[in-house]
Structure 1
Amino acid sequence: MKKITLLLLLISSYVSFAQQRDNISIEWIDNSGIYSEQIQIKAPIFKSSGFYFNYEKKAVFFNLKIPVSGFADENSLQITNIVYETISREQLGDLRISSIPSSIEASLKNMSNPASQKAVLYLSPIIKSGNTFQRVKSFTYSFSTTARRSGNTIQNSSLVYNSVLSSGEWYRFYVVKSGVYKISRSFLQSLGMNVGAANARNIKIYGNGGRMLPLLNGAYYPEDLIENAITLVGESDGSFDSQDYILFYAEGMDNWNKESETHNNLYADRAYYYVTAQGGPGKRIGNMPAIADNPTLNMTTFDDYQYHELDKTNIGRLGRKWFGERFNIDNEQTFDFKFPNIATGTQIKIRVNAAASAFTPTTMNVSANSQDINPLTFAATTSDGDVASERSTAGNFPAAESVAIKLNYNNGGVPSADAYLDYIILEAKRNLQGYGKQFRFRYNDADLNTGVIQYQLSSASRITQVWDITDIYNVQKVENNGADAFSFKAYMGEDRNYIAVDAADYYSPLKDSRTRVVNQNLKGTILKNAQGAFQDLDYLIVTPAFLSSQAERLANFHRTYSQLNVKVVNLETIYEEFSSGKQDIGAIRNFVKYIYNNASIPSKRLKYLNLFGDASFDYKNRISNNTNIVPVFQALTSFSLAGSIMSDDYFTMLDNDEGLMIDTSAQDMELAVGRMLVSDIKQAEEMVTKVIEYHAIESYGKWRNNFVLISDDVDVAWENSIQTGIDALGDQIAAQKPFVNVEKIHTDSYVQEASAGGFRYPKARKDFVDAINQGALVFNYFGHGGEDGLAKERIFEKADAQSLNNRYKYPLFVTVTCEFTRFDNPYRPTAGEYTYWNPKGGAIAMVTTTRQIDVVTGQAINQAFSSELYGYGTTNHVPISEALRVAKNNYTNGSALMVSYVGDPAIRLAIPKPTIVLTKINDQPVAASTFVFNALSPVKLTGEVRNVDGNTILSNYNGSLSVNLFDKNVQRSTFGNDGVTDGNGNLIIMNFTLLGETIFRGNASVANGQFEFNFVVPRDISIPVGNGRISFYAKRNQGLEDQTGYNTDIKVGGINPNATADNIGPRVRLYMNDETFISGGITNESPIFLAFLEDENGINTASGIGHDIVAILDGDENNPYILNDYYETELDNHTKGKVRFPFRNLAVGLHTITFKAWDVYNNPVTSEIQFIVVGDETVTLKNVLNYPNPFVSYTQFWFTHNRPYEPLEVQVQIITITGKIVKTINQMVTTEGFLSREISWDGKDDFGDKIGKGVYVYKLTVKSTLTNKKTEKYEKLVIL
């Protein structure tokens, strides 16, 4: 990418075949800004997905992704026809003036993804002209395109090949620090190697050192283990004798990494190396090439580099920046360094980096050998901003062999202020002299010079060799034959690193508990089937070995159900092959890239990546109860939830210029990615079970027609866009996908109540939770939120997430808020995580925020994602994760990285297929019908289940139909509860449209694609005539298939003047859990309430005033349970139906439910039921008996208990009156209610013999499989 100046044309060096051109208008919005939970930045914004705000520069940019048919010539970009408008300094708001250029800066960059080639246009739309400011209202861009570059169609940068670990015997060891290591025969034997049988000349060492893998894709790092050159002293005779040994250079964990600004490996503490004795001769250290040219520079000194850096604390518990020593109680600390053979008269360079967290500005004084260095001055931090302020200082001081660096933190008198040291770096000149230790040396300016440099070493009698370690895999040597002074020459023009090998100072390698390496061959097998033939991979699941059984269970499901080629790969094997045995996110990314690049054709590239495991900001398990199961990318920015990101998108951005995750607007995700947040085998089993249940026949139901949106209220004026934006989204979905029933929970349309903890919306909270439990395909929330829940008024909290009980009706949760699902902080599990983790409820998947996101980005992503998710204009629906991938790729704001997909990336939203059609009303064709659904009118509806095209009846379709008939849409307004006004002083009120009341819920059978059903319109409809709505849902009896349909042309309203009389109320039967229950019996703390209703005209569900279906618990009429939505009719019978309502967390003791319902004529019925709640911690037994009793050859054992739906271990022991056990029956029992009668007995003993007549005692023991609590009771039986 290359910047251009306005009107400057750069001529392309190749011939273009097409010119791309377009006119762009920018619609600016003043008096606005960038707003989120903790961000309040006033700035001009514009209505476009191309709006991008750079938080670091505090500048506004215009970005546009442009589809191109070929490859954009980045140097041919022209920006013309620019129309400006002058703006005031006040209109700039909080923009940083120094970041505003004096003329337009524009650039073009190519990018590609699986679907298309694109170019990204960048433009700075605000300029400073003298003392005035201007912004762009419109412009024209143009550029040339060329034929697509070779290799762009399929990026075979890697060819499929076998790993070196695929065969042979391998053993591994590790090192920590870089240097020359000595390996003895005994050490190899301790690894498990049969050294006596090995040919010493064939011994080889492989390994890639301790450096981190580059984040940038295009930076070189080996795809497999690389052989290292070694010296094996004594190998000439072919045997490895006791006096023989290996010398080799090992790169440890002490390397400066520019991408992460650290010396320490972020992911691992050990650099592994691998040794084998099989195959041909090994690579040996060769001699440096002899140079005959005379030296142009003689060097008797070298540039030494020392540092102090520890990683102990992550201040904000986010990002990849770690710090060492803390300055709080001990505010003055000293750090000592040694520089043997220091070059006197020189200067030592010092650089110190540190951070501080304090609510006032603070400083840190730095001194080196009592000489002051420039202090570090830290800015104050605030509760809603960065958690720390990071600063650096640098300077020089006179060289000395001993150096003491003193740091003194001045906390400004604030005891709570903390400072943290990042690193101290010292660079000094030392004489090239031996001193009894191995040491590395270099000349820093070698790359800036040409000619020959001669290094002259003195006091070198014990330095046996100098090794060139520039290429750690191909070390070269120059030998010293015991001379006190020796020299060697090298060409300048490039950086080169050396190490002086001192025979008295070899390092010793280390080993851990696993030294034998099992053969593996990911590269050679990942794209092959069981028969060894090439096969493209659709879906990759990455997980540690201890979770692989459940990952395989998920894979098997998708192999069968989704017809995907799925492979599960253990993290340990990826690390072994791609990062030399150590944890590194780059290894996972490079493995994914290897698979992606080696597909047979572009359309068969890898599509889905599942990171099957939780993540943490702590890669190294320094904190207790850590959850670093599968590592996640963390940004270097580590002090702000607004500026720092963690993202799994990193693993899917595979172009060579991607990976740094800095300018993400020019980076595309090549495949969809999801993370299943599981930390142990039990949790993994539960989450995989939810995926399977989501696709099971039990999950098929009319809830799949529902979409629920929830908005936060308006606390300040700019928040009005939150509720208006998501309301518009709901209307858009209803228009694009009319079969969807859009329910709206705008919190500001509810009554706000004051409480001790602040203002609350208890009814909105209840409606939210009830809607989840009743079922909806998608829940979409927009507003404030955080780790503890949604909205300042706490409309959804962790406790709500944990108590959800919507098994088989798992929704997709979309939360456009702040860090609702910040899953990388083990210290604080979030409400989002609990929503996902709920084993019997909660979400199947989440498109959710992990960091703070601004409103502009949130709205744009939500709109783009919803469009892709529901497939506007198509009936083909992509997986949820793919919808998010496409939405992000079409959006140019890097803040989209704040949104993550949690869940299985291969699942699709369970959208039913079209089409169910209403064909007749009261036997009249719909097109000719003028029928109005009057109150108390009998209605017969007829319809068909048709093919996707809507024209052909599915004559082989047999199943069941659910129907909801809605009254006319209702107009509502928000209340403006918080009294917020707009710029004109008007109270901010939003008008919106809701679905009308449900006036009928019915079920009918579908035979040969046709259905019909009857009902009576209830009295309580809205009288004015208008368009109602019918929502259909059907599912087949055989096979997993469902359909959806709707009709919005029916007319509802008015009263039937010829209605027959009906003065008799419904009949009702009440139970708890099942129909065996008797009033006064026992239940657990969360029983199911059942009400069976019957009326010749049907039951009223229209929510007329005072005519709801209601349950009153223990006489509390102020808090009734409205049960209209829980009533369903029997199949093909609108006169009968039932209410099934789950109570939750009832107190132990006696309870009474008073139930009331109405028929469609508003005739009431009232009934009561009592029950005793027994705590779930203990197992309670009542009514233990056997029936019949007495008996001859058959009896059943009956008992009631308080553990419905739970597998119980039940034992019955038959005992004689003398105490002898003659029969033991063990059986697992699971009941839907509280009565069990599953165990029977034929009167025979354990040997199958008939026992004698008489009286016997039996002991019944019941044990809970969840709590291991048990109870027992004795009773008598008689055998005749």
Structure 2
Amino acid sequence: MFLPSFLFSQSSILSTGDWIKIGVIKSGIYKLDKNFFQDNNVDYNLINPSTIQIFGSGYNGSLPQKNNLSTLFSPKQLKISFYGNNNNVFEDNEFVYFYAQSSDKLVYDSLNNKTQYDNNIYTDSSFFLLTYNQSSGNRVDEIDNGIHYDSLSDEVFHFSYFEEDTYSIIQSGRDWFGSVYSPNEIKSFDILNYVPYSDLNIELQFLSRSLSDSKFSISINDEFIDDIELQKITEGVYGNKGLLTFKNLHYKVGGNNPSKMQISYSGSNSSLAYLDYFTMSGKIKLSYQNDQLKYFTRPSTFKNFVKFKIESNDEVSVWNVTDLYNVYSYKIVNESDNLFYISNIKNYTSNIIFSLDDLLIPEFSYKISNSNIINHLNPDLIIITNKLFYDYANRIKMLREKKDNLVVDVVLVEDIYNQFSSANPDVSSIRNFIKYVYNTSLENLKYVLLFGDCSYDFKDRIPNNTNFIPIYQSYNSTNNIYSFSSDDYYGFLDDDEGEWIESIDGDHYLDVGVGRIPVKTRNEASAYIEKLVRYSDKKNLKGDWKNDIYLVADDGDNNVHQNDAELHFNLLNNNNKSFNINKIYLDFYEQKLIDGIKTSPKTKVLLDEAIDRGSLILNYVGHGNEFLWTEEKILNENSIYSWNNRMKLPLFITATCEFGKFDDPLITSGGEMLLNKSNGGAIALLTTTRPVFSQTNFRLNNQFYKYVFKKNNGEYQRLGDIFKNTKNNSLSGSINRNFALLGDPSMKLAYPNYSVNTETIDTLKALGKVIIKGQIYDYNENIIDDFNGDLFVDVFDKIVSKQTLGDESDPFTFYEWENKIFRGFAEVKNGNFYFEFVVPKNIEYKYGTGRMIFFATDTTSFLDASSSNDFIIGGTSDDFDDDTTPPTIDIFLDSYDFISGNSVSKDPLLIVDLFDLNGINITEINPFHTMRAIVDDTIEIKLNDYFITSKNEYKQGVIRYPLNGLEIGKHKIEIKVSDTYNNLSSKSVVFVIDNNNLFNLYNLMNYPNPFSYETTFSFDHDSGEQPLFIHLEVFDLRGTKLYHYEEILEYSNSHVDGIIWNGNDMNNNILPQGIYIYKLHVKNLYDNSSITTFNKMIKTY
């Protein structure tokens, strides 16, 4: 790659000096005098006016999308004029004046010989950077074109435009529409005095949202000009919600100057349309009427120099502003009380006439802090955030530098705007910064994290907008399928990429992995970082849940979703055998009609249980929207609220419509809820932001599984690498871009560090005793002799064929490792392990391939190991004991202090201890011998998946199962279990849930503790989803109240988190280090019950 030398070892012009951000709404000549500075609390006495400099983005309008080597990496200086003396002191009558163009782009189209206009989608104001006391500013020079000319003229061309950006019709895309019309509505627009009998060119664009024929009619001064027939849209969820119609009109101006253009609309009563924009261009007299006038001249092939006559009673100036950064003035001469200037019109010129008495005043925005973002280290990861989240972004920086040895830069988006677009918000300035770092780091940059939410509204038209770090919006703004928003734009870093034509021909490849954490508040930022910190520490990830993957599939649509999930399973089953692949296929379970609405209670319960048990990846394929999965709502907002899986966070893959939509400030999507949920949810999501197609869903989802377990140099890839490779190998025009990575692209999933090796396994037979020996290996197949900890093993009979019910489509056949014959727990000592068990009687006796899946954890280092081993299973052992004794059962609730008849908590934990000389049967082949609980003789609960043996002891083990949702009162629970010889045993107990257990608080804590500058309070409760009043108070050891906090939670999760205290008292004074007591009072607003509890914390410096 060719890299220009100027890219290296630069210091930003913004790194020193005083800088001020100023803005303008319209194009014109602006002035800066002492009053401007004084009115904005800047001491003009400290300013040498001759040193004032003004910088812009270097571009006309918004930045170009296309990458190229001429991209500017620094603000570009404008030319200015100074009115005053040269004594270097700001005096009353002195000022600087300069030309500033509006945020919109005006360009000359030489092919069609006309001026064109491009609305700036990012900002209505055009911003510039002002500095002083550094060096003299560039000056506007006067050009003297002599006295010779080819013709004399007092006519020039004028261009005007009208556009209102008020409505986004599908809350997607970059185009907003304004000036809405209902049937029979007429609107008038003022127009200039054009030269009589000259040609006036009018371009108009309208948007139709009507299902029937409709039209606009155009008149000037009540003279009918033309009708414009609009296209009508068709009904449908995914059709165009609006159709554009463009019209170019040519009007011959009459003898009287036109003053009004009328636009009227007609159609059926339900018709609706918008005026997108109109432009006008035509000849006017070059006349100054006490107001600045911008005009242009068209190139002439016959004349070079034209002498222009100016009609004016005032002293005026004329500046050529064709090149915004090379403005110059014309020499004006007075001949017989007439003003003239000579201009070369061989090429197009843009000019402005003004008087020093009508100069405009720019808006003062704020003083800018010094920054030097172009002089950086060679980062692996860039975190782009704004001031609200800056300290939290730095916590991620510290985490990745400490845990992963990555080089990380945290950069404020405001600093990027200042450096790369002179303070103008623009997604291309962010992309240009990333490309700059990518190039200057010699492509070392691998990951970009956008830390903050975004919005489809760049201009803050929506109340409480959340456009912290903007997202790229598509050109298509009228079709829900083909319109998209995407952070992928920030990863297109090759030269000449970026234009991103919205077709397959416009596909680009990601060069870095881009992810976003779409937090809206500091509480959300804190909650997610706490999750990230927990997930990044192996000691918080105990258990073999990390060895599970769940595939969840919708029904209907000719089984396409279940078939896609099954293809994912085949890929995993063949290439990643060390993972337990669990399936929740909707059509496998009975559905019920409740009040005419389809539901699937069993599927919903299984999904909730999957979350509770934990998994590395949970993958959903099927129908959905921003808030739910499937028509049967197996996942909805209430589901997410109820989950409490804070230590078992999966990566969610949601191949469904819009579930991860994060650029609409008026909603919080399910994907956002999962990511920002403090006590659970997801650690990250690969999710959809708009409607999608099942075919492209599958292509991307399938590529994900080709990369998620792929290693480079023996190391698993980070999430950003996986996302980048997944995207690049599943390109499909704009459809593919609707998938986003929500989460930290620099994180790794909780992969195992090592592998488990077993010695040769003989054929397993029913009732035979099996002995397994093995070792923990590193990836060079060396025994890790200091690995000491626990090994979990799942042993499966042969894979089985199953069939769905065929509720909405034909029955569907799928395969599953369903018949688990043993789930064990063994000790690993010095890298070696040993365990034994008895194969149950309930197996499929035909010989075939079974599978063992191992997962081990070192209890000191918390490093993991996993693998699988296929073996032959079938037949009956020739050597087994006679056994007619059933297993023994001991039942407890909440604790081992329980005895039958006791009162228990509202949602008690069921604990069942089991023992049998030949082990416990956990198979599901024979329903009569399935391990189960029966509550109140009616509710049956399968417990097979909740049993595990004791360490190194297959003869005994324990069931732990949460009994949620039982009513107040007395209950009975019966446990039925068989041993491996099918000897059945049962036992029952009774228990009471009473009113005294309606409301309890648990786990009141603050973290970090000790803390220095900020701490977060959290607690758990069992009041369900009822509204709570929270009152938190902080005291010193003398009992003086220092701080209090109150909040009403209209809807409370069982875990409350995110109450942040900055360590200051109620007067915002910083408190000294020491021990402090805090008191939490919580009142249930449903039944007025309440509880108070205390804890202590330590504040340090």
Same fold flag (TM > 0.5): yes
State the one-letter code of the partner of 2:513: A
Q: What residue in structure 1 maps to residue 323 of structure 2?
A: 471
Q: What residue in structure 1 maps to residue 525 of structure 2?
A: 684
Contact 1:649 1:673 (8 Å CA) reproduced: yes
Q: What residue in structure 2 maps to residue 588 of structure 1?
A: 430
State the one-letter code of the partner of 1:313: Y
Q: What residue in structure 2 maps to residue 97 of structure 1?
A: none
Count of aligned positions: 1023
1:774 aligned residue (600, 605, 613): 613
Tell me if 1:440 matches 2:287. no
State the one-letter code of the partner of 1:942: K
**1:37-116 alignment runs, 5 A limit:** none
Q: What residue in structure 1 maps to residue 171 of structure 2?
A: 317
Give CA-to-partner distance per residue, 1:586-636, whole Å, 9 cap, x none.
Answer: 12111111111111x34xx21100011122111222222322221100011
Contact 1:1028 1:1048 (8 Å CA) reproduced: yes
Tell me if 1:1164 matches 2:985. yes
**1:930-941 alignment runs, 5 A limit:** 931-935=763-767, 937-941=768-772
Q: What residue in structure 1 maps to residue 371 of structure 2?
A: 520
Shift in Å, 1:406: 2.3
**1:248-267 alignment runs, 5 A limit:** 248-256=98-106, 264-267=119-122
Q: What residue in structure 2 maps to residue 489 of structure 1?
A: 342
Give CA-to-partner distance per residue, 1:505-539, whole Å, 9 cap, x none.
Answer: 21122224xx3222221113xx2xxxxxxx31110
State the one-letter code of the partner of 1:510: E
Tell me if 1:211 matches 2:61. yes
- Matched residue SS, 1:222: coil
Give CA-to-partner distance per residue, 1:866-905, whole Å, 9 cap, x none.
Answer: 1011218985321122122123223442122122111110
**1:189-588 alignment runs, 5 A limit:** 189-208=38-57, 211-218=61-68, 222-256=72-106, 264-288=119-143, 290-292=144-146, 294-296=148-150, 298-328=152-182, 331-340=184-193, 342-370=194-222, 371-384=224-237, 385-399=239-253, 401-414=257-270, 417-443=271-297, 445-446=298-299, 449=301, 452-480=304-332, 484-512=337-365, 515-524=366-375, 527=376, 535-588=377-430
Contact 1:462 1:503 (8 Å CA) reproduced: no
Shift in Å, 1:197: 3.4
Give CA-to-partner distance per residue, 1:200-229, whole Å, 9 cap, x none.
Answer: 322222233883222222396632222221
Give CA-to-partner distance per residue, 1:914-944, whole Å, 9 cap, x none.
Answer: 421221xxxxx53xx3x43313x33332211
Shift in Å, 1:541: 0.6
Shift in Å, 1:1170: 2.4
Q: What residue in structure 1 maps to residue 790 of structure 2?
A: 960
Q: What residue in structure 1 maps to residue 1050 of structure 2?
A: none
Shift in Å, 1:1149: 6.1
Q: What residue in structure 1 maps to residue 852 of structure 2?
A: 1030
**1:1033-1072 alignment runs, 5 A limit:** 1033-1054=855-876, 1058-1072=880-894
Assess, with a 3 A threshold, how the Cα gap between structure 1 residues 881 and 1109 changes in structure 2: closer, same or farther.
Answer: same
State the one-letter code of the partner of 1:728: L
Give CA-to-partner distance per residue, 1:1155-1201, whole Å, 9 cap, x none.
Answer: 444443433232335243669995579xxxxxxxxxxxxxxxxxx99
State the one-letter code of the partner of 2:373: L
Q: What residue in structure 1 maps to residue 776 of structure 2?
A: 945
- Matched residue SS, 1:1106: helix
State the one-letter code of the partner of 1:750: Y
Counterparts of 2:225 and 2:709 in 1: how far apart (Å)? 64
- Matched residue SS, 2:134: coil
Give CA-to-partner distance per residue, 1:298-333, whole Å, 9 cap, x none.
Answer: 4432221112211111011111110112223x7513
Structure 1 residues without counterparts, runs of 5 or longer: 1-150, 528-534, 920-924, 981-987, 1182-1199, 1214-1220, 1227-1232, 1235-1259, 1275-1280
Counterparts of 1:1009 and 1:434 in 2: how far apart (Å)? 91
Contact 1:464 1:501 (8 Å CA) reproduced: yes
1:793 aligned residue (628, 632, 637): 632
- Matched residue SS, 1:1039: coil
Counterparts of 1:677 and 1:1148 in 2: how far apart (Å)? 41
Assess, with a 3 A threshold, how the Cα gap between structure 1 residues 236 and 1044 changes in structure 2: closer, same or farther.
Answer: same
Counterparts of 2:1039 and 2:305 in 1: how far apart (Å)? 98
Counterparts of 2:68 and 2:703 in 1: how far apart (Å)? 30
- Matched residue SS, 2:358: coil
Contact 1:176 1:270 (8 Å CA) reproduced: yes
Assess, with a 3 A threshold, how the Cα gap between structure 1 residues 961 and 258 changes in structure 2: closer, same or farther.
Answer: farther
Shift in Å, 1:970: 0.6
Assess, with a 3 A threshold, how the Cα gap between structure 1 residues 295 and 1076 changes in structure 2: closer, same or farther.
Answer: farther
Tell me if 1:1127 matches 2:981. no
Counterparts of 1:256 and 1:757 in 2: how far apart (Å)? 58
State the one-letter code of the partner of 1:291: N
- Matched residue SS, 2:716: coil
Give CA-to-partner distance per residue, 1:973-1022, whole Å, 9 cap, x none.
Answer: 233322x4xxxxxxx44332110322211111101111112223333333
Counterparts of 2:450 and 2:511 in 1: how far apart (Å)? 16
- Matched residue SS, 2:715: coil
State the one-letter code of the partner of 1:409: Y
Shift in Å, 1:254: 4.2
State the one-letter code of the partner of 2:993: I
Tell me if 1:161 matches 2:161. no
Counterparts of 1:1141 and 1:403 in 2: how far apart (Å)? 80
Counterparts of 2:599 and 2:918 in 1: how far apart (Å)? 41
Shift in Å, 1:1097: 3.5
Counterparts of 2:287 and 2:528 in 1: how far apart (Å)? 63
Counterparts of 1:1223 and 1:591 in 2: how far apart (Å)? 51
Contact 1:201 1:235 (8 Å CA) reproduced: no
State the one-letter code of the partner of 2:740: S
TM-score by length of 1: 0.75
Counterparts of 1:228 and 1:1266 in 2: how far apart (Å)? 63
- Matched residue SS, 1:786: coil
Q: What residue in structure 1 maps to residue 752 of structure 2?
A: 912
Q: What residue in structure 1 maps to residue 579 of structure 2?
A: 740
Contact 1:464 1:481 (8 Å CA) reproduced: no
Assess, with a 3 A threshold, how the Cα gap between structure 1 residues 1164 and 256 changes in structure 2: closer, same or farther.
Answer: farther
Counterparts of 2:512 and 2:718 in 1: how far apart (Å)? 12
Tell me if 1:853 matches 2:692. yes
2:736 aligned residue (896, 912, 936): 896
Counterparts of 1:333 and 1:1106 in 2: how far apart (Å)? 78
Assess, with a 3 A threshold, how the Cα gap between structure 1 residues 571 and 1066 changes in structure 2: closer, same or farther.
Answer: same
Counterparts of 2:43 and 2:243 in 1: how far apart (Å)? 56
Counterparts of 1:410 and 1:863 in 2: how far apart (Å)? 51
State the one-letter code of the partner of 2:10: Y
State the one-letter code of the partner of 1:1100: N
Q: What residue in structure 2 maps to residue 1217 of structure 1?
A: none
Counterparts of 1:1209 and 1:1128 in 2: how far apart (Å)? 42
Shift in Å, 1:550: 1.4
Q: What residue in structure 1 maps to residue 21 of structure 2?
A: 172
State the one-letter code of the partner of 2:236: S
Q: What residue in structure 2 maps to residue 1263 of structure 1?
A: 1081
Contact 1:1071 1:1079 (8 Å CA) reproduced: no
Shift in Å, 1:430: 0.5
Q: What residue in structure 1 maps to residue 1062 of structure 2?
A: none
Shift in Å, 1:1090: 3.2
